Amino acid sequence: MKIINPQKCVVFFDFDNTISTCDVFDSMLPVFSRDDLWVSLEKEWEQGKIGSHKCLKDQMKGMVITKAQLDKYLSAIRLDAYFTKLVKELSLKGIKVVILSDNFDYILKRIFCGHGIKNLKIYSNKLKFSGSRIIPEFPYRNKKCDICAHCKTKNLLANVSRDSIIIYVGDGRSDICPSRYADIVFAKDSLLRHFKENGFTCLAYKSLKDVYTYFKRSFA
């Protein structure tokens, strides 16, 4: 699809394994969980027996971590090397950027701040601290759907108009539903497999360098 008017574009990014180089919350589980219950919960989620709301909520019950410990851990999280360049390129073209994540607001904002990235529009689950416990909140959950803790589709649709060109960049199960509304989808990993298995059109990418190159060529 040729983009004629970049100012009509809205680019939606998943966070874990898309902007970040790992699944941040999953990487925390073996480090801060007091038992192995998180492993069976993860398997049930992978098999589709439970949704991410139950999985995240119950996994978090087994974690012991203070705010200071979390801050220290998050300071080592790496982002895709091209994310900052990509956001700058989109900003120069007047393109709206929105982050949609099934992770938690404190985690995302802390990581972005550590990389000098500010003023991004972020929709995610929320996090509170109580001593050595972290307490999740799910303000964007669709109670009629058990698949995701955060209904990304709802927040995607709230940020576009009828003539918007919707571009989605993601990798996982929580990206399947919102990506159906996109005009252009960049996909990898399980999202890419879903598109291929169902005969849907998408652009495969390995890193955000591929997405950056696409936009540079589109507006050259």
Classify residue 213 by its DSSP letter: H
* CA–CA dist 122, 37 (Å, integer): 30
At 1 the pLDDT is 59
* CA–CA dist 52, 151 (Å, integer): 11
At 128 the pLDDT is 95
Classify residue 174 by its DSSP letter: G
Bridge partners, 186 (sequence order): 169, 203
Length of the chain: 220
Q: What is the pTM of this model?
A: 0.95
CB atoms within 10 A of CB 58: 16
Least Cα distance to 167 among 155, 152, 179 occurs for 179
Using 70 as the pLDDT threshold, list the residues of the chain that sit under it: 1-4, 220
Mention every residue, 6+ apart, whose C-beta is less than 8 A from residue 187: 170, 171, 175, 179, 194, 195, 202, 203, 204, 205
* CA–CA dist 188, 207 (Å, integer): 9
At 116 the pLDDT is 95
Residue 175: alpha-carbon gap to chain centroid? 8
Bridge partners, 168 (sequence order): 12, 185
Task: Please measure the distance between the N-terminal and C-terminal CA atoms of the chain and give it in whole angstroms.
Answer: 15
Classify residue 63 by its DSSP letter: B
